[in-house]
Amino acid sequence: MRDGRIAAIGTNLEAPSGTPVESLRGELVLPGLVDAHTHLDKTLLGMPWHENTAGPALVDKIRYERRMRREWEIDAARQSARQIELSLAQGTTHILTHVDIDTENGLTCLEGVLSARDEWKDLIDIQLAAFPQSGLMSRPGTLELMREAMAMGCDWVGGLDPYAIDRDPKGHLDAIFGLAQTFGRPVDIHLHEPEEMGALTLSLIFERVRALGMNGKVTISHAFCLGSERSHIVGPLLDQLAELDIAVITTGPSGWAAPSVSQLTQAGIRVGSGNDGVRDTWKHYGDADMLSRAMFIGLRNRLCRDDEVALAFDICTLGGARIMRSADYGMSVGCAADLFVVAASGIAETVARQPVRKLVVKRGQVVARDGECIRHAR
């Protein structure tokens, strides 16, 4: 590696004298993991245990979270740093995080995540989406905050269930696509809406992508409607996603309908993944490890053969990088030297066993060793 890039790949390479050398003995070097959908600002990592008493519906959890963010003093900067440290220790080199923007918290979450990103910018690439978690049209004042958030440096315009949560799909989509046009930024929409509802919302998204020429600049997260059992719903949606180069992010959820990653990939659609919330007010589960995420994707999609497991790994690496438009990502000469090392026979074993990351390298610099990050969060 030289100047943060892969300079040569081979055996018996001569390094200029004084070059630091890492001796790996038959270990496996793999491209950095990409967590393309998480919420750094809301993890409870490292905080005292808080009993979860939230109600079952999505809106219950949104309200509960807004309340607990204040009551439990969830500091976005401190918590982001904790999850970043854990992610780095596990080989993640790129993160796309959605940051809550609402009329109660204003821009404080964003300020926290921005400061964490700045503090860790030499160790990891982080993109931010301004995310109207509590609703956009349904909570007057949010759109203005979203505009400020974009002006403060968010990389993505986020959206959320335009009909099921915000109750105004036309208003919601016009607003976020308007922001995207104003700021020249891509869009990522959390879409939990199931079956026909989600399909119709997707068709409204397709209209706007087509009208605005935003092909290749939109991502749908979760996309539960693509997990419908009814092929007459899913088939036409896949065709249009491919045509408009709209990407899909799936966590491989266990308790929800979920798109088939094989179907998406075969249709030529870019697919990435992410840990979503890690130990937050929504649920206690989560370890921020994109290798266990690959396992979840494998289990959800019944990926059993080694070549199938490799698809799950691709989604958690290259797939996310293609969504984050990391042009120099990869394992070829000239690519950014973003990688990790494990003792494993191959990719399938790496996903199945999730071995300790012996080494994590970001732009040629060792950022974690034997499962421990070189920098520690407060």
Number of residues that bind its own copies (CB under 8 A): 35
* Piece of 1-9, 52-60, 154-162, 176-184 that binds its own copies (CB under 8 A): 52-60
Query: Could you say whether residue 299 binds its own copies (CB under 8 A)?
Result: yes
* Piece of 19-27, 150-158, 301-309, 325-333 that binds its own copies (CB under 8 A): 301-309
Q: Cα 336 to chain center, whole Å?
A: 19
Distance, CA of 202 to CA of 197 (rounded, Å): 9
Residue 344 Cβ vs its own copies, minimum distance, rounded to whole Å: 8
Strand-pairing partners, residue 33, are 92
Residue 35 Cβ vs its own copies, minimum distance, rounded to whole Å: 18
Q: 60 or 118, CB closer to its own copies?
A: 60
Q: Which of 39, 117, 192, 279 binds its own copies (CB under 8 A)?
A: 279
Residue 295 Cβ vs its own copies, minimum distance, rounded to whole Å: 6
Q: Which of 309, 323, 324, 361 binds its own copies (CB under 8 A)?
A: 309
Burial class of residue 238 in the structure, from the number of CB atoms within 10 Å of its CB (0-12 exposed, 13-18 middle, 19+ buried): buried
Query: Could you say whether residue 52 binds its own copies (CB under 8 A)?
Result: yes
* Piece of 71-79, 146-154, 291-299, 334-342 that binds its own copies (CB under 8 A): 291-299
Handedness of CA 369, 370, 371, 376 (dihedral sign): negative
* Piece of 15-23, 125-133, 176-184, 298-306 that binds its own copies (CB under 8 A): 298-306
Distance, CA of 82 to CA of 86 (rounded, Å): 6
Residue 76 Cβ vs its own copies, minimum distance, rounded to whole Å: 21
Q: 148 or 349, CB closer to its own copies?
A: 349
Residue 242 Cβ vs its own copies, minimum distance, rounded to whole Å: 24
Q: 103 or 262, CB closer to its own copies?
A: 262
Residue with the two structure tokens 């600049």:
217
Q: 142 or 350, CB closer to its own copies?
A: 350
Distance, CA of 48 to CA of 287 (rounded, Å): 16
Residues 320-359, interacting with its own copies (CB under 8 A)? 345-346, 348-349, 351-352
Query: Could you say whether residue 233 binds its own copies (CB under 8 A)?
Result: no
Q: Among residues 78, 72, 1, which one has the least CA distance to residue 32? A: 1
Query: Could you say whether residue 53 binds its own copies (CB under 8 A)?
Result: yes
Binding footprint of its own copies on the chain (CB under 8 A): 48-49, 51-54, 56, 61, 252-255, 279, 282-286, 295-296, 298-302, 304-306, 309, 345-346, 348-349, 351-352
